[in-house]
Amino acid sequence: MMAAARVPAGNLVSFGLAALVVAIVPWVLPPYISFELAYAGAYAIAILGLIILTGINGQISLGHGAFMAVGGYTVAIAITRAGWPPEAAMLLAAVLCALFGGVVGVVALRLSGAYLALATFALAVSVAPILKRFKDLTGGAQGLTFPAAHAPGPLAGVLDSERWLYYESWLIVGVLFAASWFALQGRLGRALRALRDNEIAAVSFGINPFVYKSLAFAWSAAYAGIAGALIASATAYVSPDTYALNLSITLLIGAVLGGLGSMWGAIIGGIVVEFLPLWAQTINTAASSLIYGISLILVMIAMPGGIAGAVRRVALIITRPQSEGQLERS
Amino acid sequence: MFKHRPILLAVLVPIVALGIVAGSLGRAAADAPGVTPTEILLGGTHPYSGPASAYGVIGKGIAAYFAYVNDRGGVNGRKITYKDMDDGYNPAQTVQLVKGMVEQDHVFAFFNTLGTPPNLAIRQYLNDQKIPQLFISTGATTWGADYAKYPWTLGFNLDYQAEAIIFGKDIVAHQPNAKIAILYQNDDFGQDYVTGLQKGLGAKASQIVKMASYEVTDPDVRSQMATLQGSGADTVVIAATPKFAVGAMVALSQLSWKGTTYLSNVSASQTMMHAATAAGGGEATTDGIISDAYTLDPTNVSLANTPGMKLYRDILAKYGPGLDPNNGFVLYGMAAAYTMVDALQKAGKDLTRDKLMDAALHLNEKNPFLWPGVELTTSPADHFTIREEQLERYDKGLWVPVGSVIDARK
């Protein structure tokens, strides 16, 4: 109750509106777009994890694709080898990735900046060879195929596979967003930000960097694991190529493009990394990566704070016509 | 929020109802989506970006051949439109593109989607929907072997097992007392090779005296080659991707090894043979190596005057002016496109997916872009599209055919 009282009305309204739009979308758009949006939701979750780690705690990661791979393979292995239901497998993926992320976080304590970027990049690089080596478990280069996800119980009659994946993905987006928002309101959020802004000052205030920095890594990795699990579940197939090297970089692009300073940036980033390459193809299939790259550069030049940052600036100008004058005075 | 609830329901209910109605209407549509009196719409995916983008030119070779066919009146009066998309060799991307092409573009069939992982990711979905997934660009054995479970899927490439079966048969025929060693990549590609070689050798499989594997992350294969040489083998089979195959040839030369070497087709391009010759210090490195081919090879001068090569170069000059005619991938794309057109032609004027599948399973064609004498045959009981190939020996910088075409089936 105390926490709920602190939620500003504006946030509640925007959250409610967003939820409404999310609920209606699959009934007005064709199923394949719901399917693509399920992937966008998964990317949004992974990017949210990255925003918590990089934007709020100031630790960089070029290896989040590795956590997504662990999440995806956990689901695939639990379903194919142990016959688990996909939902339970997803939970296991989150737990395993949190543990894995915590371990990486402890190692990361000794590194920062470019060194941390390189160390995490090494994680991403090692994914494919490791998966191929443990062929009996992972299916090697050919990967693992499993039955497509479908809505459980009575829902199966109402929701086809595409819409079910969509709702599953965006329901998890909603829950994780709310959870992160509340968690970052209090002491935890302040501690993470303080460590980012000035670690020595933070430590002198009694913040334990060992605990909070490895916690941020574990938290962030758990989100990436859930995202990887959702992608595996939507594709009904995993292979090393699903979690290729460029995935980690794509996530960072999404975080920067959406806006590292805002949680809404994760949703925007997720939608952008899902749909920008698809859109680029409609212009020219053979030069899609070129168009993708040019669009990225243009957005970064025009909106250095990411799209979420730009939207906030515009909203500020619209809602407060005199704000420029006020800002000048302050 | 509550006072808006009736309005909300009033909006939502019709939308939901419409959605359900539209969904059921979609399922009841004609059994030949993507076919109009003037057009056949085919879908495909190739990696135009990402680590496997070298294969992208296959799609361009296909497009050139379809343009050529369309200019000559198309297939049974219909022009082929090929919607080829870039999946970056990422199976998660392939699934999304394929669903979009099915639901939005209503493609009639998929053709030559590239790569084993991307095709595995879409196989179940396309078979559930009863949409043909034809002449796909991968050498895995599963496409031909698992047809009972996936009757709408058909491969194109000569599979790796068949290639190794043919090596095995050749060894039995020409060196029945050979002591055999094999170097293989430790993944599905390499395993398929080992299995195929054992099948081809049959009762002589016990003459394999040593096997050594490598990982794609290994720096080189020198120690493996030394082990193989130490086993006393007189015949070595190299089932390796280009970088390691070159290393293996060079290592054998440096070990002054004398014997017969068989080399997997994926590593037998002129570029790689030249690289091995240069790194090994002369023609002795590569002379006498045996490999195989099932499509024409644009870099092989002895084929330059075959009708297939002439047609290939003529089509490229007019419909693919920016493409490198010496790139074997372009020719491969054209060979696959020829087979697709053949199947569409045989499916007849009254085109349905069932008829296309039936035609694709009764092929017996002389594809001009395949090695002269290699026949492409399918039947309802045999979903391996190409199972024949020509053995060739490397001689002073050129591949020279040895003997006649061998069929892995017989």
Q: What is the pLDDT of residues B278-295, one digit of tens each?
A: 999 889 999 999 999 999
Q: Is the pLDDT assigned to residue B14 strictly greater than 60? A: no
pLDDT score for A9: 79
pLDDT classification of B31: cutoffs 50, 70, 90 = low
A111-129 mean pLDDT:
90
pLDDT classification of A8: cutoffs 50, 70, 90 = confident
CA distance B347 to chain A (A): 29
Answer whether residue B140 is part of any domain: yes
Q: Check: CB of residue B49 under 8 Å from CB of residue B93.
A: no
Q: Is the pLDDT assigned to residue A12 strictly greater than 90? A: no
A111-119 mean pLDDT:
89
Answer whether residue B25 is part of any domain: no
A278-302 mean pLDDT:
84
- Classify B77 in phi/psi space as left (phi over 0), alpha (psi -120 to 50) or beta: left
Same domain, B66 and B139: yes
Q: Is the pLDDT assigned to residue A1 strictly greater than 60? A: no
Residue of B nearest to A231 (CA): B92
Q: Tally Cβ neighbours within 10 Å of residue B382.
A: 13
Q: Do B103 and A245 touch (CB under 8 A)?
A: no
B108/A contact by beta carbon, under 8 A: no
Residue from B90, B102, B107 to probe the interface with A (highest A Cβ count within 10 Å): B90
CA distances for B40 relative to A32, A255, B79, B84, B151, angstroms: 22, 42, 6, 14, 22
Q: Is the pLDDT assigned to residue B27 strictly greater than 70? A: no
Residue B213: list chain A partners with CB under 8 A.
none
CATH number of the domain residue B245 falls in: 3.40.50.2300
B92/A contact by beta carbon, under 8 A: yes
Q: Is the pLDDT assigned to residue A326 strictly greater than 80? A: no
Judging by beta carbons within 10 Å of its beta carbon (0-12, 13-18, 19+), is residue B232 exposed, middle or buried?
A: exposed
Looking at the structure of chain B, the number of domains it has is 2
B121/A contact by beta carbon, under 8 A: yes
Q: Is the pLDDT assigned to residue A32 strictly greater than 90? A: yes
Residue B55: list chain A partners with CB under 8 A.
none
Q: Which two tokens stand for residue A195?
A: 């460590």
Residue of A nearest to B103 (CA): A32
Q: Check: CB of residue A21 under 8 Å from CB of residue A225.
A: no
Q: Residue B261: in which H helix or E strand, if any? A: strand B260-263
Same domain, B214 and B198: yes
pLDDT classification of B20: cutoffs 50, 70, 90 = very low
Rounded Cα–Cα distance for residues B27 and B183 (Å): 51
Q: Is the pLDDT assigned to residue B26 strictly greater than 60? A: no
Same domain, B249 and B317: no
Same domain, B276 and B340: no
Rounded Cα–Cα distance for residues A307 and A298 (Å): 12
Q: Tally Cβ neighbours within 10 Å of residue B203.
A: 7
CA distance B381 to chain A (A): 25
A247-268 mean pLDDT:
91
Q: Is the pLDDT assigned to residue B41 strictly greater than 60? A: yes
Answer whether residue B32 is part of any domain: no
Answer whether residue B386 is part of any domain: no
Same domain, B372 and B281: no
Residue B100: list chain A partners with CB under 8 A.
32, 36, 278
Rounded Cα–Cα distance for residues B149 and A134 (Å): 27
Q: What is the pLDDT of residues B97-142, one digit of tens each?
A: 999 999 999 999 999 999 999 999 999 999 999 999 999 999 888 9
CA distance A94 to chain B (A): 20
Q: Is the pLDDT assigned to residue B62 strictly greater than 90? A: yes
Q: Is the pLDDT assigned to residue B40 strictly greater than 90? A: yes
pLDDT score for A250: 92
CA distance A32 to chain B (A): 6
Answer whether residue B8 is part of any domain: no
Q: Tally Cβ neighbours within 10 Å of residue B37.
A: 7
Same domain, B250 and B340: no
Residue B50: list chain A partners with CB under 8 A.
244, 246, 289
Same domain, B120 and B225: no
Percent residues over pLDDT 90 in chain B: 75
Q: Do A160 and B23 touch (CB under 8 A)?
A: yes
pLDDT score for B30: 53
pLDDT score for A235: 96
CA distance A234 to chain B (A): 8
A42-62 mean pLDDT:
95
Strand partners, B41: B81
B43/A contact by beta carbon, under 8 A: no
A28/B contact by beta carbon, under 8 A: yes
Q: Do A239 and B91 touch (CB under 8 A)?
A: yes
pLDDT score for A5: 47
Which residue in the set A32, A135, A140 is minimally distant from B104, CB to CB? A32
Q: Do A278 and B96 touch (CB under 8 A)?
A: yes
Q: What is the DSSP letter of A261?
A: T
Rounded Cα–Cα distance for residues B334 and A98 (Å): 49
Answer whether residue B34 is part of any domain: no
B190-213 mean pLDDT:
94
- By mean pLDDT, which of A1-15, B18-32, B180-194, B338-352 is the weakest? B18-32
Q: Do A246 and B103 touch (CB under 8 A)?
A: no
CA distances for A273 relative to A163, A190, A222, A248, A281, angstroms: 20, 30, 20, 12, 13
Q: Is the pLDDT assigned to residue B219 strictly greater than 80? A: yes
Scanning B165-204 for CB atoms below 8 A from A yields 186-189
ipTM: 0.89
Tracing tokens 């992350």 back to the chain, one arrives at B217
Strand partners, B181: B210, B236
Same domain, B218 and B231: yes
Q: Do B116 and A129 touch (CB under 8 A)?
A: no
Answer whether residue B373 is part of any domain: yes
Residue B117: list chain A partners with CB under 8 A.
141-143, 237, 239-242
Strand partners, B292: B391
Q: What is the pLDDT of residues B326-343, one digit of tens each?
A: 888 999 999 999 999 999
Q: Check: CB of residue A232 under 8 Å from CB of residue A238.
A: yes
- Give the range of the structural domain holding residue B204, as residue numbers without chain letter: 161-293+391-407
Q: Which two tokens stand for residue A95?
A: 């737990």
Q: Do B96 and A286 touch (CB under 8 A)?
A: no
Q: Do A244 and B103 touch (CB under 8 A)?
A: no
Q: Is the pLDDT assigned to residue A329 strictly greater than 90? A: no
pLDDT score for B285: 92
Rounded Cα–Cα distance for residues A91 and A84 (Å): 11
pLDDT score for A6: 64
Stronger pLDDT, B402 or B22, i.e. the higher one: B402
- By mean pLDDT, which of A160-169, A314-323, B14-23 is the weakest? B14-23
CA distance A290 to chain B (A): 9
Answer whether residue B10 is part of any domain: no
Which residue in the set B84, B102, B117 is minimally distant from A241, CB to CB? B117
Same domain, B122 and B213: no
Tracing tokens 């559930």 back to the chain, one arrives at B128
Same domain, B235 and B288: yes
Q: What is the pLDDT of residues B141-165, one digit of tens each?
A: 899 999 999 999 999 999 999 999 9
A21/B contact by beta carbon, under 8 A: no
Same domain, B44 and B142: yes
Q: Does residue B208 sit in helix, strand or coil?
A: strand
Give the strands of the sheet with B109-111, arranged side by side.
B79-86, B39-46, B109-111, B133-136, B153-155
Q: Is the pLDDT assigned to residue A2 strictly greater than 60? A: no
Q: Which two tokens stand for residue B374?
A: 């290699």
pLDDT score for B54: 84
Same domain, B341 and B277: no
Q: Which two tokens stand for residue B284?
A: 């002795």
pLDDT score for B51: 77
Q: What is the pLDDT of residues B337-394, one digit of tens each?
A: 999 999 999 999 999 999 999 999 999 999 999 999 999 999 999 899 999 999 999 9
pTM metric for this prediction: 0.87
pLDDT score for B222: 94
Q: How many CB pairs under 8 A join A and B?
A: 122
CA distance A206 to chain B (A): 44
pLDDT score for B5: 47
Scanning A149-178 for CB atoms below 8 A from B yields 160, 162
